[in-house]
Structure 1
Amino acid sequence: MAISKDKIIYDGVIDKGLVQPFNETKKKYILFAGRLEDAKGCKELIKAFNIYAKKSGLYDLLIAGVGNKKYIEECKILMDNEIQNRVHFLGAVSHEEVFRLMYDASIYVVPSRNEGFGFVTAEAMFNGTIVIGKNTGGTKEQFNNAYDLTGEDIAFRYNTDEQLPQKLLECENLQKKHYMQLAIKGQQVVCELYDIATQSKKICDFLMHLNNQRKFND
């Protein structure tokens, strides 16, 4: 009997015992947190925010993370004059502070060109914030996992950078009840798929399964 050696077990990202009730007093800002570099799509997000703001978008943009001085200056150059006071570079922030920012944020954006697993996507959903993400790589995979579990898209996907401003507006204009429903489903998905204790047990169980199969074949 052949030993089945392949199984997908995702990283444990969160402790579902620490999940907080949905924040009904969300603040009017869009959040990005991560390294400020081309691969993470920060410039594309700022370009999209320029268009979003001109189309009566009401939220500010908070950018948490570090990057080299030249890259940050290049990002700032992309901002139209009328939105410069609406884009806030927060610099380095602690993990605890990122979680607080996620909990208060109205929208979290993952504009990475080809994210791996993407811890921040799961973390933002865990904190009850709707995610807008580029439909590629690990971000797409997480969105697909959520769809498979719930039967609907609980996040906003976009395929091209030109689509991002409209996705920002669509998310901003969600009715509060609909927003809450999607956000709470997001929390439930993450708690089911990416809980640290659950994923650790899955690894142990699979190792025991392999060991038992090996003994059987011996």
Structure 2
Amino acid sequence: MTNVLHLINYLGGGGSEIYIYTLAKKLHNNHCKFYIAYSEEGKGLKLFEDLGIETIKLQMNSPFDIKAANELKKICKELSIDVIHTHFLRENYISILSKLLGNKVRVINTRHMLDKNSKSVISMNKFFTRFNDSIIAVSSSVRNQMIYDEGLNPNKIKLIYTGVDLEEWSKPSSLNFRDEYKIPEGEILITTIARFSKEKGHEFLINSIKYFKDYIKTNNPEFKFKFVLVGEGELFNDIIDKAKDLQIYDDIIFTGYRRDIKNILKSSDIFILPSNNEAFGLSILEAMAAGLPVITTNSGGTREIINKDFDNGIIIEYGEIHKLSESLVALIENKELKEQYIANGYKTLSTHFNIEKTIEETYNLYKGRDI
């Protein structure tokens, strides 16, 4: 049994936590024993407690927190940790510091972000990643950025796509989301699941909803629709205020944080991810697994999922308000096109984003294979 400590500063409910959760569901108590060490408690804590994973509070005040590095070394010794799997810069630096202080573990980092780093951060990354045993890139876009923009060692970087468990998604799900919000079956639900932060493109989406509503009012006034925006974040209230200013607030359901993503997606008709910057796009995979056609933006890792070769959805440029509205109309009016994207989306998942492949490749890194 390989003991793996996942180190994450904030244990919220975003994509990084879902990434860890996906690994844990397959590997915890099956080849591996997982532990979670965190600095700030968030809504994601319960996810791991429900899986029976031991969680440990470890205060991490900065990337160069020597006290945290020493405490991490102590935790690893007490739990006989073989691998520390880090998920952001702070946690990775602290893990490397603990290694330099004598912590005899493998340190693996997953790069979840596509943000451009400053010159000083790039320089520090070049130094610290020398001591990483391997680095997982969640998409080719992320891998290319690390190699060509930051000059990191390509031999240490392994592209591992995050997959979805199609068997799990095929199981029956509660479909009471429409009942909860009193939405009749004939009303089209158009859903977005994303943290309310600048890179996720909510302002673009809100402007597009306004344009779409005006188009429908003019061309098909009998048509009924609702947009569902799932998530929370620093821009949550700002987006609500903008929706009110544009007089589209009543056309949108702002759910806040939800754990019943499967329920929401399977109750929906169309999925949109309008990001300005996206390292990968796990929510796209989940939407396709739920049997939804997808509209997304050409914003990084998304084009590795939705593209013309796969013929599995619609990809537009960020900010194309008219194009997003036209794409929605196309999916609503052309049932054959919608079904084509749904079928090809499922094929894409089974062929390219299979969870078993993700698990096998990640486990190989834990064991020091295929580096």
Could you say which TM-score interval applies, normalised by the shorter chain? 0.7 to 0.9
Letter in 2 for 1:128: G
Q: Where does structure 1 lack aligned partners over 5 or more consecutive residues?
A: 212-218
* Equivalent residue runs for 1:32-111 within 5 Å: 32-56=192-216, 58-68=224-234, 71-79=235-243, 82-94=247-259, 97-111=260-274
Rounded Cα–Cα distance in structure 2 between residues aligned with 1:86 and 1:182: 26
Q: Aligned residue pairs: how many?
A: 195
- Once residues 141 and 86 of structure 1 are traced to their aligned partners in structure 2, the CA distance between those partners, rounded to angstroms, is 31
**Does the C-alpha gap of structure 1 residues 29 and 196 become closer, same or farther in structure 2, counting only changes over 3 Å?**
same
CA distance in 1, matches of 2:306, 2:266: 19
Give the distance between the partners of 1:31 and 1:142, measured in 2 at CA. 18
Distance across 2 between alignment mates of 1:41 and 1:194: 24
Q: Is the 8 A contact 2:210 2:246 kept in 1?
A: no
Post-superposition offset of 1:208: 8.8
Shift of residue 190 of structure 1?
A: 1.0
Give, in angstroms, the shift of residue 82 of structure 1. Answer: 4.7
8 A Cα contact 1:27 1:106, kept in partner: no
Q: Structure 1: how far apart are the matches of 2:213 and 2:275?
A: 21
Within 1, Cα distance between the matches of 2:370 and 2:324?
Answer: 45
- Correspondence 1:193 to 2:352: yes
**Structure number having the greater strand percentage:** 2
Q: Give the structure with higher Rg (CA).
A: 2
> Residues 81 and 48 from structure 1, CA distance in 2 versus in 1: closer, same or farther, beyond 3 angstroms?
closer
Aligned partner (choices 312, 317, 337) of residue 178 of structure 1: 337
TM-aligned CA distance change 1:54 to 1:15, over 3 Å:
same
- The answer (yes or no) to whether the contact 1:40–1:111 under 8 Å persists in 2 is yes
Residues in 2 aligned to 1:166 and 1:7: alpha-carbon distance in whole angstroms: 38
Identity of aligned residues (%): 22
- How many Å separate the matches in 2 of 1:110 and 1:123? 12
1:125 and 1:195 mapped to 2: Cα distance? Answer: 13
Contact 1:40 1:112 in 2 (8 A): yes
Higher relative contact order (CA 8 A, sep 6+): 1
Q: Cα–Cα, structure 1 residues 72 and 181, in superposed 2: closer, same or farther, change >3 Å?
A: same
Query: Residues 52 and 202 of structure 1: is their aligned pair in 2 closer, same or farther, counting only changes over 3 Å?
Result: same
Report the alpha carbon displacement of residue 210 of structure 1 after superposing the two structures with TM.
Answer: 4.5
Q: State the AA in 2 paired with 1:88.
A: I
Higher helix share: 1
CA contact (8 A) 2:189 2:228 kept: yes
Q: Deviations over 1:26-83 (max 9, x none)?
A: 8611101121111111111011000001111642111111123xx3332133235653
Counterpart of 1:127 in structure 2: which amino acid? A
2:201 and 2:276 in contact (8 A); partners too: yes
* Structure 1 residues 140-179: aligned runs within 5 Å: 140-144=303-307, 147-148=308-309, 150=310, 153-161=311-319, 162=321, 163-175=323-335, 177-179=336-338
State how far apart, in whole Å, the 2-side matches of 1:26 and 1:194 are.
32
Aligned twin of 1:15? 165
CA–CA distance in structure 2, aligned partners of residues 28 and 45 of structure 1: 17
User: Partner of 2:300 in structure 1?
Assistant: 137
CA contact (8 A) 1:126 1:191 kept: no
Kept after mapping to 2: 8 A contact 1:15/1:191: no
Q: Distance in 1 between matches of 2:262 and 2:186?
A: 14
Corresponding residue of 2:39: none
Runs of at least 5 residues in structure 2 that lack an aligned partner in the other structure = 1-153, 172-184, 217-222
Aligned to 1:215: none
Amino acid at match of 2:313: A
Q: Which residue identity does 2:231 align to in structure 1?
A: G
TM-score (norm 2): 0.47
CA RMSD in angstroms, aligned pairs only = 2.9
SS of the residue 1:77 aligns to: helix
